[in-house]
Amino acid sequence: MVVPAYFVGTFPSAVMVARSKGIDITKVGSGNPGASNVSRTLGRKYGVAVFALDALKGVIPAVVGMVLAGDKVAYAMIAASVLGHMFPVTRHFQGGKGVATMAGAMFVMQPVISAILGVVWFVVLKASKKSSVASIALIIGLPVLAVVFDVPRWEIVTMIAINALLLLRHAGNIKRLLQGTELSASRSK
């Protein structure tokens, strides 16, 4: 079940959406094949479409895992899908940052926490004008809220492990934020 979940994660949402408009998303903007770069390059509606498709890559393994084998297998499948998104074998291990995929999975596994984090993401994005800052707030906020909501310890540890990978994928963003050179969130369209 983990191997198919990995390949669900490799589905190249951003690449396909951008290609439909004649653009190689890996060669424009930040070069990251994710919703933020698509939004900055093509406009918000395309970024939202990529976010939704990437979130589905987390929703599908979470639902299948829960239904067929329970929460622990669901988290293993989520981790595999996030890894597939970040390191797709189909694209020489050059993928996105995994935030939308993890957000979709957490919407299934922890809907109340996800709803709160959705508000946090929106507020941080509006205040900072930087999607990377909003994403980092989600990455840090998930395990914190999981502790507050008394989520089982094994689940919190799993969230921390997956989110540590997401945070590592944001190392470049963190460096640019510290240097004051990080790109703004999006253009409207």
- The mean per-residue pLDDT over the stretch 141-150 comes to 98
Asked whether 82 and 2 are in contact (CB, 8 A), the reply is: no
In sequence order, the 6+-apart residues with CB closer than 8 A to the CB of 172 are: none
Summarised one tens digit per residue, pLDDT across range 4-35 is 999 999 999 999 999 999 999 999 988 999 99
* Look-up of token digits 């929460």: 71
Tokens linked to 136: 């980092």
Q: Where are the domains of the chain?
A: 2-179
Asked whether 180 and 36 are in contact (CB, 8 A), the reply is: no
- DSSP string across 140-160: HHHHHHHHHTT--HHHHHHHH
Asked whether 9 and 88 are in contact (CB, 8 A), the reply is: yes
| Number of residues that this document lists for the chain | 189
CA-nearest of 113, 13, 102, 12 to 59 is 102
pLDDT at 181: 86
* Look-up of token digits 């190689």: 24
Asked whether 134 and 125 are in contact (CB, 8 A), the reply is: yes
Q: How many C-beta atoms lie closer than 10 Å to residue 1's C-beta?
A: 14
Summarised one tens digit per residue, pLDDT across range 120-136 is 999 999 999 998 999 99
Q: pTM to 2 decimals?
A: 0.92
* Look-up of token digits 């919190």: 156
Q: Tell me the C-alpha distance between 155 and 30, whole Å.
A: 33
